[in-house]
Structure 1
């Protein structure tokens, strides 16, 4: 019968291979073969363990990898002890002890590295200074050869928690994720708390802490002061007006584009930057927004902020850019009037916001039209009165595109202290190319060369405007009209062509702040007493305009034929009408149709 390799082993012994086993007991370690214990030493006897490694491996009783795994050391250590034993015997293991030293970090380098550590230098910089690798420095710190200066010395700072620890505590909170100020929340629930006061404390590795750099700017522009002046305060609760405004402002800076996106963020980490235990939940934030909306003071808040900005820089509103931004509506719940969406080249349900930006293309205020009113009507009824309030007695120059072209309105505005710069609408005769000269113009903050020409023209009865034209390389002439007679042509062209900075503003706001997003599906009833254009009347006006254009063509043709008539052939008017049969009848018929359409 085949005998087992190791028939007698104490209980608890672990086999290294089929030849050797290890037994640990009472601080001693024993090595067994098939018959009995062959070597025994204390567990802290480093020489004895090294000798056992050399003897057993040299006798081929066990492989270095097997013994290293059983002893919990590196295989290279066992192989090195085996090699020392084979060359120098047991004496070689004794003499080898104590002769090794740090061949990289010498005493002088250790002293220099420790000094630099005390000054708080980075490990990479220290490694470069003492001419060793960064890994060598880290290993020395791990072994205790070098002692890193603690970044936190006080007892208070020693209690700082990492982001993972804070997140774990937020999830374990019994009152809800991130809820720690339970007493104040109980008071808020029974209506005894006006608003939770913000409390800021020292923390480590706060993910969104960078937005706190914008807090002084928000205070400087007057966001909190203006809101408090307009709204006063919200209803009693844990989250007050200041907390809601800061949450919304920080959401914008962090590109959190809707309240629903808060679900993907850590509420506790966001709460740290607003000075609370956590930010409000989505439903809470929406409830607070609805409460502010029902106050109906959004326009008053915007007016207060605009006034503060203008008081800080009155020169910036000397020139203002006006343009409409169309926000398409894709829902089916409500019926909205249709308007043209230029970037999609479609007519679709939408709302139109008229934005007013200052000379630096920074927004001053906006007006949401109730029924996609025309730009001209909004300027007349909303923009100019508001700008007169902001600027006081100072003249204001408004810049817009040809959608607002109206010489009659320009004349009224000019008398009211408002100048205009806009594109000329309609067809116009080109000027001779020798009337243009190269001019350096400031556009977009950089000088550009334009070929410009200028004249003064009468656009309506007794009302003159200044026309500045740019000659393009293709031969096209772009006409800019203005009531400003004191500005050089280069500045007028530069101001007009810089209007595209407002378009860039719209693009940036759409991409970064989701400008076209509907924050709510709530509706607000439009003013029933407002004046709105009648669709039938508008269509009738277009029809009359078409007939007038056709009448003008017929009259010109009739006059040209009369001018070219030869008296020798047709000396009388009767003969001329017979030769041009039908013209006079068509002219009279069109005149009758126009009068009939006007009467309707």
Structure 2
């Protein structure tokens, strides 16, 4: 018997294994593919299209996986994906290699480059320069990156010379400017002024983008108006506030978040040798809190916000939304409990009442009194809102069912405020023939339509002494899908009789922007954090609802339900007694007292239980002293929290402004979906600080990962530069650029 020699293994012959079934032989003469030992594909040395076809077919036929084929052919998976797509779109011709190199003579001659630089020196944008010189924006970028000869570039003076200044060589992260002398004399200085030195590769350079939007919030100007200045020290009022806002925009809104930054790196953005650390931040904020003016700061911010105009030129004070926000407490102190609608159970917490504009941007916030309802807070808030609005014009105020009170509606209407809220409780449905179709076009130009019924309803004023007194209010009704199937009607109430019905529906739905603001601020600005754990004793003489009375009332409700069931059973029993048996010829039925008493016994027993429950409920007082009910209860400090809340409001409005600028002033195609994500990416972008141009602070950011995002960042930089914002505390005008890709 002869023995058979082992068959040669493809890998031993120099082949590259691709998965478990294929092998590739690729050399100067061409290439071959073997599948399960059988020759399947062959190509010559210059037949690159056939080589790409073989790679694509290995994936399409399932012989090997994408990553296996890409590794075997020495390409990345993206190249293989493009080959397969070209094969699907254009067949084999789509795989033919494209000859590299210019397809026509280049337009970028020395003369054309000089012309382009001349237009850019005059302050024209990339697009304007491209249109004026007849080239593309990419050609403009290449021309600006070229080293122009002295003869080719025109000599510019003044502002043109500063615009013509091109990316100097900056030292990479040089040592910070020595501020030891100012630190030694800190007790004699009001504050250390920002001083910037040229530096490349600054880690937090993207945060400079926030300053034009931060100026529009009025935080720095309002703080100076309210507080004047902090006690003498190295870190002044502007520095503490700017540092807090920038940290919030970088994702660390709490003072403890300063530990997650290198003080020297963040100090470069503040113009100092080091950023303030946790202990300093807490001490300086506490010094502000000692003045007791946090409420004045919030009021000043509200007046500044409402004095401006919205993105489309609309009046920000025309429409306001009010809602309560519960901030849960997780510490060990004895804090009163409040029901949290988000958590679905009572928790130790404090409650705030927030006011936002029509776009959901925070305007005003006050700490709610313990145990106060939204209706009570609204009544107390109206004078402060009137002060913030600054005149006697009517303002539409939207809120949810927590503010339901017909007496409040009447009071607001008399005070110059229009109500916008949902109707609470059950009511009769509106006849279907009264429904008509209405529409409204929102700020984005999108038209929305609804089927509504516009009617008037009378709400009883149960709190007044006059019986039967009512308040007439406008009701907008809609038919919506019910949870268990079918449809149901929902009703919107408003005292504004001139507002179109479509806009009433749209504005009521827009109240969810306030909920979105709470959610976004919790996620990115630590809205629910406790910036101070200091507390004071609650007012022990404050009258609070007695929980025993509420429990007793539940027993009354249960007794009433049992009484109603017993009455129904008694009626059935009496009916049976009075009804002759089936088939009986007797026309009269004799009901004895014993039979009647037996039929009525369950009802009499339920009635006795109900009477006893009602008497027990009436004996319990409605309210008790807090000291008797819950001695030792405390309330958290609000002054420090309100200062940090004002800072977070400014940070939130800053981020909303930048995101809106990305949507409206850049050509980024996915700006509607990704404006906020792109904004946060820009804030975390490194870059250079250039102070070589007198009177200017030029921030040159590194390119972003993709061309589309880099282009959007460049357009945003151009728009922000046009605002000519000055860095706080200096005479330096901020200029923004994006570096050219090398």
Common fold: TM-score over 0.5: yes
The equivalent of 2:497 in structure 1 is 485
Taking a change above 3 Å as real, the CA distance of residues 593 and 120 of structure 1, as seen in their structure-2 partners, is same
Higher deviation after alignment, 440-449 or 510-519: 440-449
The reply to whether residue 462 of structure 1 matches residue 469 of structure 2 is yes
| Displacement after TM superposition at 1:187 (Å) | 0.5
- Asked if the contact 1:340/1:348 (under 8 Å) is kept, the reply is yes
3-state SS of paired residue (2:456): strand
State how far apart, in whole Å, the 1-side matches of 2:229 and 2:191 are: 9
Match of 2:307 in 1: 311
- Could you say which residue in structure 1 is the equivalent of 2:221? 225
The answer for the alignment partner of 2:356 in structure 1 is 357
- The answer to whether the 8 A contact 1:443-1:495 is kept is no
Distance 1:497 1:447 in 2: 14
> Residue 333 of structure 2: SS of its match in structure 1?
coil
Q: 1:597 and 2:632 equivalent?
A: no
Which structure 2 residues correspond to residues 333-412 of structure 1 after superposition, within 5 A?
333-371=332-370, 373-381=372-380, 383-391=381-389, 392-412=391-411
Q: CA separation in 2, counterparts of 1:561 and 1:597?
A: 31
Task: Compare CA radii of gyration and give the structure with the larger one.
Answer: 1
- Tell me how many residue pairs correspond in the alignment: 467
Q: Could you tell me how far 1:158 is from its partner in structure 2?
A: 12
Paired position in structure 2 for 1:185: 183
User: TM-score, normalising length from structure 2?
Assistant: 0.53
* Cα distance in 1, alignment partners of residues 355 and 237 from structure 2: 27
Inter-partner Cα distance in structure 2 for 1:511 and 1:524:
29
User: d(CA) in 2 for partners of 1:408 and 1:561?
Assistant: 46
Given that 2:325 and 2:351 are in contact with CA atoms closer than 8 Å, whether structure 1 keeps it comes out as yes
Q: Structure 1 pair 349/593, CA: closer, same or farther in 2 (3 Å)?
A: closer
CA contact (8 A) 1:439 1:449 kept: yes
Q: 1:113 to 1:373 in 2, by over 3 A?
A: same
Given that residues 353 and 368 in structure 2 are in contact (C-alpha distance below 8 angstroms), is that contact kept between their aligned partners in structure 1? Answer: yes
Query: What CA distance in whole angstroms lies between the structure 2 residues aligned with 1:365 and 1:505?
Result: 13
Query: What is the distance in 1 between the residues matched to 2:594 and 2:488?
Result: 46
Q: Classify 1:545/1:269 alpha carbon distance in 2 versus 1 (closer, same or farther; 3 Å).
A: same
Q: Give the C-alpha shift of residue 549 in structure 1.
A: 7.0
Alpha-carbon shift at residue 404 of structure 1 (Å): 1.9
In the TM superposition, residue 377 of structure 1 has moved relative to its aligned partner by: 2.5
Residues 353 and 369 in structure 1, CA contact (< 8 A), matched pair in contact too: yes
In the alignment, is the contact (CA less than 8 A) between 1:355 and 1:367 conserved in 2?
A: yes
Determine whether 1:321 maps to 2:321. Answer: yes
> Does structure 2 conserve the Cα–Cα contact (< 8 Å) formed by 1:436 and 1:451?
yes
Counterpart in the other structure of 1:518: 530
User: Does 2:600 align with 1:581?
Assistant: yes
Shift of 1:303: 0.8
Change (3 A) 1:561 1:386: farther
Match for residue 35 of structure 2? none
What is aligned with 1:472?
480
The counterpart of 1:502, out of the listed 514, 521, 532, is: 514
- Counterpart secondary structure, 2:321: strand
Deviations 1:497-553 (A, max 9, x none): 111111111121122212222233333444556554333344455555666677788
Question: SS of 1:493's equivalent?
Answer: helix
What is the deviation of 1:335? Answer: 2.8
Please tell me whether residue 448 in structure 1 is matched to residue 444 in structure 2.
no
| Aligned residue among 280, 284, 287 for 2:283 | 287
Deviations 1:288-318 (A, max 9, x none): 1222223222111101111222233593223
Counterpart of 1:276 in structure 2 is 272
Name 1:214's counterpart in structure 2: 210
Higher relative contact order (CA 8 A, sep 6+): 2
Aligned residues of 2:173 and 2:200 also touching (Cα < 8 A): no
Instruction: Please report how far the alpha carbon of residue 239 of structure 1 lies from its aligned counterpart in structure 2 after TM superposition.
Output: 0.5
Distance in 1 between residues matched to 2:291 and 2:180, nearest whole Å: 30
- Check whether the contact 1:323–1:401 (CA below 8 A) recurs between aligned residues: yes
Structure 1 residues 569 and 502, CA gap change in structure 2 (3 angstroms): farther
2: CA distance, partners of 1:532 / 1:467 = 35
Write the distance in 1 (CA, Å) between the matches of 2:571 and 2:428: 22
**Match of 1:581, SS?**
helix
Q: How many Å separate the matches in 2 of 1:447 and 1:555?
A: 56
Give the whole-Å Cα distance in 1 for the aligned partners of 2:544 and 2:256. 37
Inter-CA distance 425–202: structure 2 relative to 1 (3 Å threshold): same
1:450, 1:471 within 8 Å by CA — same for their partners in 2? no
Q: Deviations over 1:148-207 (max 9, x none)?
A: 9xxxx99xx9997746432xx35xxxxxxxx7211111101xx22221122345544444
217, 231, 252: which one aligns with 1:235: 231
Relative to structure 1, is the Cα distance of residues 499 and 291 closer, same or farther in structure 2, using a 3 angstrom cutoff?
same
Please state whether the residue corresponding to 1:315 is helix, strand or coil.
coil
Of residues 362-371 and 526-535 in structure 1, the stretch that sits farther from structure 2 once superposed is 526-535
- The runs of 5 or more residues in structure 1 that have no matched partner are 1-103, 130-137, 142-147, 171-178
1:247 CA drift (Å): 1.1
Distance 2:264 2:373 in 1: 47
Match of 1:165? 173
Match of 2:671 in 1: none
Residue equivalent to 1:298: 294
Structure 2: any 5+ residue segments left out of the alignment? 1-100, 119-129, 137-144, 148-152, 154-160, 461-467, 579-586, 621-742
Cα gap change, 1:502 to 1:553, in 2 (>3 Å): farther
Taking the aligned partners of 1:455 and 1:295, their CA distance within structure 2 comes to 51
1:35 maps to what in 2? Answer: none
Task: Provide, for residues 57-81 of structure 1, a one-character-per-residue CA deviation record: whole Å limited to 9, x for no partner.
Answer: xxxxxxxxxxxxxxxxxxxxxxxxx
Deviation at residue 286 of structure 1 after TM alignment? 1.9
User: Residue 421 of structure 2 corresponds to which residue in structure 1?
Assistant: 422
CA contact (8 A) 1:160 1:202 kept: no
Contact 1:548 1:594 in 2 (8 A): no
For residue 165 of structure 1, give the secondary structure of its aligned residue in structure 2.
Answer: coil
SS state at 1:236 partner: coil
What is the Cα deviation at residue 459 of structure 1?
1.7
Whether the 8 Å contact between 1:397 and 1:421 is mirrored in structure 2 is yes
Aligned with 2:320: secondary structure? strand
The secondary structure found in structure 2 opposite 1:316 is: coil
Q: Go from structure 1 to structure 2 and tell me whether the alpha carbon gap of 1:274 and 1:301 turns closer, same or farther (over 3 Å shift).
A: same
How far has the Cα of 1:244 moved from its partner?
0.7
Give 1:57's aligned residue: none
